[in-house]
């Protein structure tokens, strides 16, 4: 007789039985899809929206043919629209969360996070430039204004900066926003950091001059970008880091940006050991980037309050 109340309470508190389909597709903790299905549907949205936009471009009358100078800007614009729209739809209707909750809250730190993130890579790339020059591997060959008119230089630099702002936004939205944060829901922080950084790295394999070392270097870069979100639970610092990395690496110090070239202020060449310098892919493909990332991560730790990290 003494066990009867206990059995009644167990029946009251026991979770309702779930069907096999519910177990496969739905989260056990809340009424929405499991992480893997959410990520799959988000990927399908990216593919579908890209296909629709490209199909519309092909059929639209009066659109100019792409040239070597216009194609990168058009593709960047398409990726901006595709990733933003697909992520908004997935966040609103699949994740059942707000787009803003990915890390776009605005507070007293937002602008300084963005500015600090943008400026820190100036130090990073400056250290790499100085180290390789001091080792005799990097050869300074002149300033861009000795070979091109000011208008051409300004147009190239502003175009490069605008492109890197857009790329920094949508890649952080995708990798440190949607991917990382959904993967944390489905696994844990350690696995989510590794998997999201691995996807980020693998998707750059098709870049010119890519090697297995560049893939590992971009894995480390993925962790570094993610550290901005880990410390602040906002994307502003990560976005600033991404924009600044690309801008100071390429247009300012004249290194290749993940195998790609752009208008740059400094003409230079590097002929040191590729394993260390990264060669034609850029510093992220060389061992030189690792201590610079470690130093910069320490500076981020100090900037964000050290042991007293910010509340989420």
Tell me: the pLDDT tens digits for 117-173? 999 999 999 999 999 999 999 999 999 888 778 888 888 899 899 999 999 999 999
Residue 260 maps to a domain: yes
Residue 2 maps to a domain: no
Same domain, 178 and 217: yes
Same domain, 290 and 222: yes
pTM, to two decimals: 0.90
Residues belonging to the chain: 312
Residue 27 maps to a domain: yes
User: Over the stretch 32-60, which tens digit does the pLDDT of each residue have?
Assistant: 889 999 999 999 999 999 999 888 877 87
- Quick check: 163 and 300 in contact, CB under 8 A? no
Residue 270 maps to a domain: yes
Same domain, 174 and 277: yes
Q: Which domain holds residue 56?
A: 11-97
Residue 62 maps to a domain: yes
How far is the C-alpha of 130 from the C-alpha of 67, rounded, in Å? 37
Same domain, 63 and 179: no
Residue 26 maps to a domain: yes
Same domain, 40 and 118: no
- Quick check: 180 and 229 in contact, CB under 8 A? yes
The domain boundary, picked from 79, 97, 115, lies at 97
The answer to which of 20-34, 60-74, 231-245, 280-294 has the lowest mean pLDDT is: 60-74
Same domain, 77 and 223: no
User: What separation in angstroms does the CA of 265 have from each of 48, 104, 157?
Assistant: 39, 33, 8
Same domain, 92 and 112: no
Residue 169 maps to a domain: yes
The domain boundary, picked from 49, 68, 97, lies at 97
Same domain, 238 and 156: yes
Nearest to 186 by CA among 35, 43, 37, 40: 35
């Amino acid at each position: 007789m003494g066990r009867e109340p206990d059995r009644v309470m167990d029946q009251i508190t026991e979770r309702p039985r779930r069907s096999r389909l519910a177990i496969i597709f739905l989260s056990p903790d809340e009424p929405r899809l499991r992480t893997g299905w959410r990520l799959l549907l988000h990927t399908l949205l990216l593919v579908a929206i890209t296909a629709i936009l490209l199909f519309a471009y092909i059929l639209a009358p009066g659109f100019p043919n792409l040239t070597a100078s216009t194609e990168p800007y058009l593709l960047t614009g398409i990726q901006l629209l595709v990733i933003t729209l697909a992520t908004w739809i997935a966040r609103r209707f699949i994740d059942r969360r707000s787009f803003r909750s990915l890390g776009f809250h605005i507070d007293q730190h937002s602008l300084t996070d963005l500015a600090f993130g943008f400026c820190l890579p100036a130090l990073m790339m400056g250290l790499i430039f100085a180290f390789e020059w001091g080792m005799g591997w990097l050869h300074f060959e002149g300033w861009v204004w000795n070979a091109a008119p000011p208008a051409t230089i300004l147009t190239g630099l502003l175009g490069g900066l605008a492109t890197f702002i857009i790329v920094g936004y949508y890649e952080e939205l995708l990798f440190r926003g949607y991917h990382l944060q959904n993967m944390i829901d489905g696994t844990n922080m350690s696995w989510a950091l590794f998997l999201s950084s691995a996807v980020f790295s693998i998707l750059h394999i098709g870049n010119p001059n890519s090697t297995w070392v560049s893939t590992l270097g971009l894995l480390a870069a993925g962790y570094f970008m993610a550290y901005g979100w880990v410390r602040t639970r906002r994307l502003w610092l990560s976005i600033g880091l991404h924009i600044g990395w690309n801008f100071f690496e390429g247009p300012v110090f004249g290194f290749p940006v993940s195998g790609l070239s752009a208008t740059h202020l400094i003409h230079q060449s590097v002929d040191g050991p590729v394993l260390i310098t990264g060669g034609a892919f850029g510093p992220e493909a060389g061992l030189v980037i690792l201590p610079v990332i470690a130093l910069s991560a320490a500076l981020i730790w100090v900037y964000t309050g050290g042991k007293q990290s910010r509340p989420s």
